[in-house]
Structure 1
């Protein structure tokens, strides 16, 4: 269990999590305990145990987050809840991201991708991860508010960035600290959202975006959602959408850059669609985004390799027995997706980047980039669509090179390539194939 109080927190956060977790697994097997972030934890690395906790016996385990994080996002956000409230809100988020709505988002998503790419081209070196964060934030805003006017958008962005910086900082109420500044910015975000809601109600606008779904919701007793519930959940969605998608995008650019043959194959697949759309004069269609098999496998393999969400936190609500092990009430339980995704039993040569492995469906409960069960990510289709759209425009019209040899990994807390993958982008002048 490591040191008193500190436990093994420092070991976990100061090295590659692969090494920390796999060393433990080798030594102790598929289920072991540790002590991190002030809590005793049980770690699970088998597909069966993960399914037990997240799906079949999910009622015995509640989602659990540090209080400081709950405060930053907002206590009403759906991932902090279980039961009826959680399932109602989750349904709202899912219905606002149903296939029909995603379908309609494509043209605006394309506009966001193209304008981002244009802004990178011809600039000196950019921090890919930071730029991807801006992109996924814009897509998040689009899916929550539709086409929001400029001043609200800038205002949200500015304050959201301050909150984002404070999210992983030491929680303290001393004025001037990153955390305290973040709390103030969080209050302003709520203000801005109240204004947006007020304007919508004034104009009686009935949009089919997430905010529209939240505003129209009535439960079986005819109750509506409070302003706090709405704004906490919107912040929650923006949070969930930003860093995760941005780090996956950054990894994809790195993996493609490292494998020129693969990049050429992906480019050929996308160029065929591009030509069919008269050299990009017509927008991408939903059917086209469903028919990018190689690009899609590259996304799946990137999700497996990078395992951006290494694990999730649950807390046992009662004493639970699993496979002869006792998990005491109040202990944290962590299904380790990363270990499962990197286990040679399920994925041969797990350290090789090989999209062709997804030509066959992975064994059940061995591939969970979006989690599993009632708390699985409701935005997974949105994320994949956003990635497909960006890759399409990137490989058909731009070229990029990574600056320096970026072999290290940073954790912030999600794994990203060292220095956020510095890169240079430029527009490809001739629209011919490169030989």
Structure 2
């Protein structure tokens, strides 16, 4: 029996060795190459189960504590190198960006569209990015202040009456409306409703298991994507027929002719419109939801903001005028709250890149074809760069952070071009929130859900009350 057991054990070890060696070959690892420390986990499965069986932040933090600021793992079917230092993030996203292509699972690419800006590098990316930046320049978003102001106040007033709301879901409605404004300007109500209905189905299926089985969220999302193309095609055709020269995103796309006289195709426009909606909605809504929680948790900070915003409100009340662009640029404490919310929440926890060649970094090999993930959240929450990193402290931004330690919108050529619009949206929300409303959070006020962006538990259930104008200076947040 002993001989048989020993033979079986030897056979088992040989099989494991064969699997391991072949996995290295499939992953493109050279013999004798020095890979970053870490574990690739089980064959095929890797460490995906460990990642999704706990808070992803805990998974990455534990890995960093054990292996340091560069380590390897294997998740979602891909060997990966994780980078948790500002220098490494700059290496991948800025100085050697040409060696690392943006990459996303094909299942997700099908829903957004293969021509979307963030799937590309090179000339096509530069052309599209410039158009998006032009449509979201400071001069353009300045003109959006009255409309964003109107969308925000309307939404906030609809929450009042002590009925329970899901704060995150309601914030998504605001960010969707602002996205529509930036893309189309004032869009007909019928078009807007059709877009909202079908985009919500696509959004619900984006992070579901990618199967084409009828009735599944992913299959429904694919069908909604086809309907979105039809709706957008109709809007594009109508805009061309009217020949209206608007400076919104659609106008920039329609008026673009490259050096060879080529226009952007309708399919490319559709993909990029859906991509911008996707990039703008959940991320901004998540941050605005966290702002509500952070301010509720810090009454003294809230009173400081109320004082700053009340001065603006009183001036506008006396002059019978709405909030304006200049005022949004002169909210120093509120702006620090926005920055600290972006740091603490770190909605974009990491980004995906893929090595297009074997790359050496600090003596380690990053093999061609491996995914590379700069971990923004780990950097933002590092005590090496931010004192008491898990404490919400806007005053830390009285001094500019060290270079490459604060990247809420990414870095390099793929930095989010809508970052100024997002910050404006949050500032306008803060202005109306702290001067005209009080609120209480309901249920568990701790915990984070990842869907896929981090949001407070259950979307932060809350109740809101409108407060009279003359009481805004002295009203306290405690509804009791």
Q: Place the TM-score, normalised by the shorter chain, in its bin.
A: over 0.9
Q: d(CA) in 1 for partners of 2:170 and 2:52?
A: 25
User: Would you say 1:111 and 2:150 are equivalent positions?
Assistant: yes
Larger Rg: 2
When normalised by structure 1's length, the TM-score is: 0.98
In structure 1, what is the equivalent of residue 435 of structure 2?
396
Q: 1:258 to 1:83 in 2, by over 3 A?
A: same
Q: d(CA) in 2 for partners of 1:279 and 1:16?
A: 50
Unaligned runs of 5+ in 1: none
In structure 1, what is the equivalent of residue 119 of structure 2?
80
After superposition, residues 253-268 of structure 1 pair within 5 angstroms as 253-268=292-307
In structure 2, what is the equivalent of residue 349 of structure 1?
388
User: Would you say 1:199 and 2:230 are equivalent positions?
Assistant: no
Distance apart, 1:62 and its partner CA: 0.2
Q: d(CA) in 1 for partners of 2:371 and 2:223?
A: 30
In structure 1, what is the equivalent of residue 59 of structure 2?
20
SS in 2 for 1:389: helix
Q: 1:260 to 1:203 in 2, by over 3 A?
A: same
Contact preservation (8 Å) 2:444, 2:457: no
2:186 to 147, 165, 188: 147
Q: 1:280 to 1:37 in 2, by over 3 A?
A: farther
Q: Which moved more, 1:174-183 or 1:72-81?
A: 174-183
1:129 to 159, 168, 175: 168
1:361 to 397, 400, 406: 400
Q: d(CA) in 1 for partners of 2:49 and 2:381?
A: 23
Contact preservation (8 Å) 1:251, 1:416: yes
**Once the two structures are superposed, what CA deviation does each residue of 1:150-206 show, in whole Å capped at 9, x if it has no partner?**
000000000000000110011111111111111111011010111111111111111
1:8 to 19, 22, 47: 47
Q: d(CA) in 2 for partners of 1:431 and 1:125?
A: 26
User: Would you say 1:219 and 2:239 are equivalent positions?
Assistant: no
Distance apart, 1:4 and its partner CA: 2.0
Q: d(CA) in 2 for partners of 1:280 and 1:364?
A: 42
Distance apart, 1:279 and its partner CA: 5.7
User: Would you say 1:288 and 2:288 are equivalent positions?
Assistant: no
Unaligned runs of 5+ in 2: 1-39, 476-480
Q: d(CA) in 2 for partners of 1:292 and 1:11?
A: 43
Q: Which moved more, 1:152-161 or 1:394-403?
A: 394-403
Q: d(CA) in 2 for partners of 1:156 and 1:166?
A: 16
1:334 to 348, 356, 373: 373
Distance apart, 1:147 and its partner CA: 0.5
Distance apart, 1:123 and its partner CA: 5.1
Contact preservation (8 Å) 2:334, 2:427: yes
**Once the two structures are superposed, what CA deviation does each residue of 1:305-353 show, in whole Å capped at 9, x if it has no partner?**
1111100000000000111111000000000001100110100111111
SS in 2 for 1:205: coil
In structure 2, what is the equivalent of residue 208 of structure 1?
247
Contact preservation (8 Å) 1:397, 1:431: no
Distance apart, 1:9 and its partner CA: 1.6
In structure 2, what is the equivalent of residue 68 of structure 1?
107
Q: Cα RMSD (Å) of the superposition?
A: 1.0
SS in 2 for 1:311: coil
Q: 1:272 to 1:425 in 2, by over 3 A?
A: same
Q: d(CA) in 2 for partners of 1:3 and 1:137?
A: 41
